[in-house]
Amino acid sequence: MGQKSLLSLSVPYANAAIRTEIVSRIKTAFAHIDRLAAEAKRALALVGKLDEAIHAKAFRGELVPQDENDEPASVLLERIRAERAAELKPKRGRTARP
């Protein structure tokens, strides 16, 4: 296809009013995208803060209702230490003779 045949082709295009409307809609869409991107960025920052807040509450024992019948952590830790110490004691028994 040569230049002459390309120049003879009729290429339809929208009139000025339609082109203006298309540009306006594209600008509106990009503005909406920009707002959504900013909102997503703020949401991500809040998620990070929420994660920190959840961890802090967990360490303070505020995520679930506390049961007054539960033993204190200090008692639990002492019991665990005692159990571990009992496991580490060497067992006495007979030694096999050669």
Average pLDDT over residues 79-86: 90
For residue 47, the enclosing domain spans 14-63
- Stretch (H or E) spanning 88: helix 73-88
Those residues whose C-beta lies under 8 Å from the C-beta of residue 63, and which sit 6 or more positions away, are 54, 57
Instruction: Kindly state whether residue 22 falls inside one of the protein's structural domains.
Output: yes
Residue 34, token pair as written in the block: 């920009």
| This model's pTM is above 0.85 | no
Instruction: Kindly state whether residue 77 falls inside one of the protein's structural domains.
Output: no
Instruction: Kindly state whether residue 53 falls inside one of the protein's structural domains.
Output: yes
8-34 tens-digit pLDDT: 888 888 899 999 999 999 999 999 999
How many whole angstroms separate alpha carbon 89 and alpha carbon 96? 20
Predicted confidence band of residue 97 (pLDDT cuts 50, 70, 90): low
Instruction: Kindly state whether residue 32 falls inside one of the protein's structural domains.
Output: yes
Backbone torsion region of residue 96, taken as left when φ is above 0, otherwise alpha when ψ lies between -120 and 50, otherwise beta = beta
Instruction: Kindly state whether residue 2 falls inside one of the protein's structural domains.
Output: no
Predicted confidence band of residue 67 (pLDDT cuts 50, 70, 90): confident
Instruction: Kindly state whether residue 9 falls inside one of the protein's structural domains.
Output: no
27-66 tens-digit pLDDT: 999 999 999 999 999 999 999 899 899 999 988 888 888 7
Chain-centroid distance, C-alpha 74: 34
Q: Which pLDDT belongs to residue 13?
A: 86
Total number of domains constituting the chain = 1
Those residues whose C-beta lies under 8 Å from the C-beta of residue 45, and which sit 6 or more positions away, are none
